[in-house]
Structure 1
């Protein structure tokens, strides 16, 4: 029986639904990491989401472990991906905000698996190579592929919709501007500028245009992953399939674009919320400018929401169908039982909650992402991992689970014991590191404390207030909780050397 999202989010610390099987000596399975971009927890049926329906992604958790409280350390693409890849916090790995690269000497998941004799590969968005021309995606060269030997389809940034491969040697003067479109459909209606991106000599042409059949980027990347999986090999593989969707622009190919009736999509309960914290109101005003409306009460906002959400759900449904293609390939090739599959996202998307879009604020939706792991015979099917854990913990957790060597300077924690049903000694926390260090905080299974340098700090009861509409920061009855969690946040930031300590040290707990 499927739980509702509210039941899932407000559930208490229930006993683990099943302990992991005795693991004994670590084996060397193949490892497939599926990473999506800006996918919210509520899109997944495994977490109580009704739409769009994600049976293939959900199957990873049904056949393995589902993490109830998995958080990204920073709710924006680059620093979040850096944490996942290195097991280190943003100020340590260097990619503290979008368009900044990883430090050149960082040790990544690619290095860890390559050093262990794995055949490594990556297809899709990387976003850890610094700034490039937004109209011309950089394909990552070998010297900057960070341990991913097969990096041919690894690109730095961009959310392209169409990809057309041309033959090697195709004349440049015949390969330009074969496809063009505006950044998103809203921009078309408002006369927005046109973006064009093409490439030749055996590399794809990309564009923001919605593609013809077989050219949609999600499907194309899936094709590349399947080609990699199907290769004959003597060594196990580690492969990252990094989908740029469902990040904006809000456009997707048919039949997904018209799969969800706009009129049937409900507004979030907080869409018209008033009296937001100052940082949230500032973000909402920025969103209003993007929407081209005068104020938050403009009736056109609801139509914009319905159009965006329909396309967003379509992108997720397309991803799920393509995840199904990859999982089917593993099964048909006899690799299913010998492959550890991981599904996660780099952050969520507010999609109208609190009248906001996108991410990178203190509200939970941007930080709390669906994460599942399946390893038949080694991780108990259907188990629910309750304690808080973060994407910065993924590298050390995989190292512990598989017996792999790390660089020894990781700041994340080894959570492999959680997959054996062992929670003793695990602290139920996940810390917030905002990209510009102006906000900090901590999640526990019960609370979220968000501290803001310029005002608007928040305390939310995650169990009693899953919509996050009752800010308890400053409430005398919760002063003890604020004091305790503030002290823990300061202790953590001091220990890891976060630049946020420049203002956290002077913070007076309520």
Structure 2
């Protein structure tokens, strides 16, 4: 990869860069060595952190895949897009602006549009989706399905995993036993490499690569998970009985639901053993290392073809994962391990100085107007997302005083119709619609979000103030986006 370099004086920075947006699925912030998690083996991402700009407090607007991605690609909060849970249709994106401005727009892998094969503003899409979606009635043969079929293979997925005697003991952690090149992340990265190396060079390029992992099942080839299985120092979750007993009813119901119903090949348990947690974390981190390796290979191909001569590479994820923290599996809650995502921006041609961290609060959908401005375009005035370009370029930039998160009832969130979260630098409040329960955390004193202060008399004023912030945000948002809403009916 070319060196990021120091800020330039005009020249290359005045043109339109190639923009490479890499989005993983369900990757926690604390999975990258360069971002302070020394247990992970992530040399490619460590280099991007060292030479780029890391936004260390970037939070999603929804703690699940589809609403989070719809929000990113539309520039609006979920209550404005109308996409509040997985499975809801969406397809229009700001990618259309890039396409109309002359960018060649290509998507390889996951985007989670519904319908899956919507063009969504791209010239070309090579779609890869969830591994066992058809069990939920979502039949669609994607590029990965076709490749496996062409090789006479049956995809590793829930239907096959259920046949294993140790299925419920695995908690979603399995070894990929088919050819390594056909693992979902290797396949998507390989297809992106194939496109880069085969398609006649075209610039400016917007390439969006959607890697399916480390979303469960946690299934890297064994060579990636084995080093983590051998480690004795992984910071494995061990929630106390007091914390579990104090969870709001909706999250208690989620725990029991996940133990009764297997989502994404994860059959959860209410009391996992240390050995089970070691295996789950080893496979999850092994998948992250696989992704890191394949990202490095893709960047090498982009460099060989000259696409990195002037480029901005953005690496991020659509949300995180509890992975046993707080006694919970997967997403759908609003703990930081779910809402806070790695967000790394790396540039060539001296577009902005690297080796920096931006610690102020921002929202994941802020990447949308950032990308448009990098391309020399003006984001729509109705956007609720705010460009991060000033922060990247070292200009005056004001962090958000609050970030917000929304989630409608979903396949694994059966105990709440709607959850709304608001977070400041110090405080987090989570509101459960129709419930007297909620969550309030002092992140300065309790960064692990263990002690719920919702009913603490000493913090009732803080609770009320944050509820007022939430109310005012919703009112302002509805007023600001009323024309957009009217235009989409």
Deviation of the 1:66 alpha carbon: 0.4
Alignment of structure 1 residues 364-403 onto 2, 5 Å: 364-376=336-348, 377-403=350-376
Q: 1:422 to 1:429 in 2, by over 3 A?
A: farther
Q: Deviations over 1:163-186 (max 9, x none)?
A: 47669xxxxxx9697325441886
Are the equivalent residues in 2 in contact too, given 1:38–1:247 (CA < 8 A)? Answer: yes
Q: Distance in 2 between matches of 1:90 and 1:493?
A: 11
Task: After superposition, give the CA deviation of every residue in 1:120-155 in whole Å (9 maximum; x if it has no partner).
Answer: 10011121214xxxxxxx6x2xxx21111111x124
3-state DSSP of counterpart to 2:99: helix
How far apart in 2 are the matches of 1:186 and 1:455?
Answer: 40
Task: State the SS of the aligned residue for 2:431.
Answer: strand
Structure-2 change in CA distance of 1:210 and 1:77 (3 Å): farther
- From 433, 448, 467, give the equivalent of 1:486: 467
Matched, 1:306 2:275: no
Matched residue, 1:283: 254
> 1:73 Cα deviation (Å)?
0.4
Partner of 2:72: 84
Aligned partner of 1:8 in structure 2 is none
1:214 paired with 2:202, answer: no
Q: CA RMSD in A?
A: 3.2
Q: 1:417 to 1:457 in 2, by over 3 A?
A: same
1:239 is displaced (CA, Å) by 0.5
Query: By how many angstroms is 1:228 displaced?
Result: 2.7
Give me the whole-angstrom Cα distance separating, in 1, the residues matched to 2:15 and 2:426. 36
- C-alpha displacement of 1:478: 2.9
* SS across alignment from 1:214: helix
2:440 aligned counterpart, secondary structure: strand
Counterpart contact for 2:43–2:292, Cα < 8 Å: yes
In structure 2, distance between residues paired with 1:79 and 1:88: 10
Listed one character per residue, the Cα deviations across residues 307-334 of structure 1 (whole Å, up to 9, x for unaligned) are 2222111111100001111122233334
Q: Structure 1 residue 279: deviation in Å?
A: 2.3
| 1:150-299 paired onto structure 2 within 5 Å | 150-151=124-125, 153-158=126-131, 163=144, 178-183=153-158, 187-190=162-165, 210-230=177-197, 231-261=199-229, 264=232, 265-270=234-239, 273-275=243-245, 276-290=247-261, 296-297=270-271
Structure 1 residues 217 and 125 mapped into 2: Cα distance closer, same or farther (>3 Å)? same
Q: Counterpart of 1:171?
A: none
The reply to whether residue 419 of structure 1 matches residue 388 of structure 2 is no
Give the deviation of 1:393 after TM superposition. Answer: 1.5
Q: What are the superposed Cα offsets for residues 262-313 of structure 1, whole Å, 9 maximum, x if unpaired?
A: 673442142654322222222222233258999734xx54333222222111
Structure 1 residue 110 corresponds to structure 2 residue 95:
yes
3-state secondary structure, aligned to 2:15: coil
Matched pairs, number: 443
Give runs of aligned pairs for residues 87-98 of structure 1, distance below 5 A: 87-98=75-86
Determine the structure 2 residue equivalent to 1:433. 406
Report Cα offsets for 1:223-260 as digits up to 9, x if no partner: 22122333433421000110111101121223224332
Alignment partners' CA distance in 1, 2:268 and 2:188 = 39
Equivalent position to 1:444, from 411, 424, 433: 424
Shift of 1:425: 4.5
Structure 2 residue ranges without an equivalent (≥5): 1-5, 134-141, 169-174, 410-416, 480-489
Partner of 1:119: 104
**C-alpha contact 2:127 2:143 (8 A) present in aligned 1:** no
Q: In the TM superposition, what is the alpha-carbon distance from 1:156 to its structure 2 partner?
A: 4.7
Mapped to 2, the partners of 1:87 and 1:429 lie a distance apart of 17
- Report the CA distance between 1:423 and its aligned residue: 4.5
Residues 1:354 and 1:404: Cα distance change in structure 2 (over 3 Å): same
Report the alpha carbon displacement of residue 479 of structure 1 after superposing the two structures with TM: 3.3
CA gap of 1:93–1:20, structure 2 versus 1, over 3 A, is farther
Question: Does structure 1 conserve the Cα–Cα contact (< 8 Å) formed by 2:331 and 2:338?
Answer: yes
- Secondary structure of the structure 2 residue equivalent to 1:42: coil
1:320 and 2:320 correspond: no
Aligned counterparts of 1:424 and 1:260: Cα–Cα separation in 2: 39
> Do the aligned partners of 2:229 and 2:279 also contact (CA within 8 Å) in 1?
no
8 Å contact kept, 1:341–1:374? yes
Question: For residues 175 and 235 of structure 1, what CA distance do their matches in structure 2 show?
Answer: 32
- For the Cα contact (< 8 Å) 1:293–1:301, is it kept in 2? no
Question: Cα offset for 1:466?
Answer: 1.6
Structure 1: any 5+ residue segments left out of the alignment?
Answer: 1-18, 131-137, 168-173, 194-207, 499-510
Say if 2:20 is the partner of 1:40.
Answer: no
Q: 1:296 to 1:158 in 2, by over 3 A?
A: closer
